[in-house]
Structure 1
């Protein structure tokens, strides 16, 4: 079993924004990136490529791991002219979304991090949280509470 180490504060923050970028709707991510007006020159370390990954699950979240199935992903890596390296892995075959996510990852490691957090990451997070809450509220409306009444046998 691999040794699990604690993430540093910076690693945890990067993990959080990369997760957010991977889950974000592609159209909304592109719109917010364009609105942020961040033009970044870069060169590819790994151009966007489509592949598959095995999705693993655990029964009840704690049981033994099992292979659930495969998922298509697109990944890429790039280096900005300033020297920052950005990576991305997104679900599906959207090469442009992977490129934007990698550019945001690289930009978040530089002086524009605070501005990008305010203009791009926080709005994305708020919208995705609201969408989850709305979905949960719709599901809650269909909830049926079953109960069993104990009957005495004659």
Structure 2
């Protein structure tokens, strides 16, 4: 593979992960039904772990450990050899496994287009709708504060 194709594949995988982590487990599973999923095996069964969350003082100052967060992770290999990894916040083993499967399918040229059209595009649209709805609800509660300047004479 050339550097450009590796970079394109990495970008495609990052874009897919950004969608999948924000989608509900049932939504991912529901959209995957439309795809004829090939044989695959779990390289790493879904498991829970912890990651350290780090912050910066004042947003750009010295690093400090904020605390730990629970994550679930999994790894899957397709029969064609592609390996997918899935991570998600919380203890959702099923979602971690589905994300890993989707990651592997995205890397397979046969399934990449189907994944984009039948899984990722509908999930992106749903997430965008949720964000617009949430923004509208938030905007409805906005309070505009203003100051009147009194004249001295």
Residue 88 (structure 1) aligns with: 86
1:78-137 deviation line (CA, Å, top 9, x unaligned): 211110100000121111111111111101111111111100000000000000010000
Change in Cα spacing, 1:8 to 1:73, as seen in structure 2 (3 Å) is same
Change in Cα spacing, 1:140 to 1:112, as seen in structure 2 (3 Å) is same
Instruction: State the 1:44 CA deviation.
Output: 2.2
SS at match of 2:21: helix
Residue 63 (structure 1) aligns with: 60
Residue 111 (structure 2) aligns with: 112
The alignment yields a C-alpha RMSD, in angstroms, of 2.2
Residue 4 (structure 1) aligns with: none
Is the contact between residue 9 and residue 107 of structure 2 (CA under 8 Å) also seen in structure 1? no
Residue 124 (structure 1) aligns with: 123
Instruction: State the 1:29 CA deviation.
Output: 0.9
Extract unaligned runs of 5+ from structure 1: 1-6
Instruction: State the 1:68 CA deviation.
Output: 3.5
Instruction: Number of aligned residue pairs: give it.
Output: 146
Residue 97 (structure 2) aligns with: 99
1:17-72 deviation line (CA, Å, top 9, x unaligned): 012111211111111112x2333322222211101212334577x52344443221
Extract unaligned runs of 5+ from structure 2: 1-5
The 2-side partners of 1:70 and 1:78 are apart by: 26
* Equivalent residues in 2 for 1:1-154, closer than 5 Å: 8-34=7-33, 36-58=34-56, 63-64=60-61, 65-110=63-108, 111-151=110-150
